[in-house]
Amino acid sequence: MRILLVEDDAVLRAVVRRSLADAGHRVDVAASVAEARHFWSVQPYDAVLLDLNLPQDAGQGSAPASGLTLLRAARARGDRTPVLVLTARGRTQERIDGLDAGADDYLGKPFELAEVEARLRALARRSQGAQDVTMLGALALDRRARRFTLHGAALELPAREFEVLWELMTPPGRVVSKRALSDKLSDFAEALGDNALEAFISRLRKKLAGSGAGIRTLRGLGYMAEAQPQAGP
């Protein structure tokens, strides 16, 4: 998943970012309302992890602001990205305000890092209409374990190929444009070009050959993971 982490505490931000990255997610970080507003407006995300007590800008002495302002603005423009709000334990009104502003779930501080990842994964799964385990021919994606298997054996993939196949399998049968794939898989410092993306698709097709799972190109639209006839015995 691609996640936007909005947290002004530098230590907590670094710890959560590392934990999510170690779990295989691509994480962008923002330390203020202004930074988060910029990232969220130019990059699609699978989920947002949002602290409520934030400065308006990243500089020292910036006026205090609220993540609720950011959340309300996103919902007002029709953005339905799942949002997990971080709140202080015992602040019931803060949790109510977050949910009323459009948050999908909340988590009180302090929290367990594993629970953060599990809640974000659950929010994204519900948003995308995907299940923990998705089958396509002999290909299986276990989202909880972050693992692909093919004919019951682990399918080892380089990181970028894994991410491409993950997107196409979430869920299969859905057309994913080249632009959407590039946006999900690129860093702000380096965009994923069409040639690189086509190379990943080509290698995946070879690895999936005869499995009953294939990737179809829809000219001018993008790619779609779909069932195909399996090779005979």
- How does pLDDT run across 43-59, given as a tens digit for each residue? 889 899 999 888 888 66
> Which CATH architecture fits 133-227?
Orthogonal Bundle (1.10)
Domain ranges for the chain, please list them.
Answer: 2-128, 133-227
From the CB of residue 180, how many other CB atoms can be counted at a distance below 10 Å?
14
Name the percent of the chain in helix, strand, coil, to the closest 5.
40, 25, 35
**Per-residue pLDDT, 149:** 96
**Per-residue pLDDT, 231:** 58
Average pLDDT over residues 91-101: 84
**Per-residue pLDDT, 89:** 58
Pairing of strands 26-30, 2-6: parallel
Same fold, 2-128 and 133-227: no
Q: Work out the mean pLDDT of the chain and round it to a whole number.
A: 87
Q: What percent of the chain has pLDDT over 70?
A: 91
**Per-residue pLDDT, 85:** 92
First to last CA, the chain: 36
Considering only residues 210 and 64, tell me which one the structure prediction assigns the higher pLDDT. 210
| pLDDT classification of 20: cutoffs 50, 70, 90 | very high
**Per-residue pLDDT, 98:** 85
Say which CATH class 2-128 falls into. alpha beta
**pLDDT of 73 over the 80 cut:** yes
**Per-residue pLDDT, 156:** 94
**pLDDT of 22 over the 70 cut:** yes
| pLDDT classification of 209: cutoffs 50, 70, 90 | very high
H-only helix segments in the chain: 10-22, 33-42, 67-76, 92-100, 113-128, 159-168, 178-185, 194-208
Cβ atoms of 228 and 212 within 8 Å: the answer is yes
**Per-residue pLDDT, 190:** 67
**pLDDT of 233 over the 60 cut:** no
Task: Encode pLDDT of 124-176 as tens digits.
Answer: 878 776 667 889 999 999 877 789 999 999 999 998 899 899 989 988 888 99
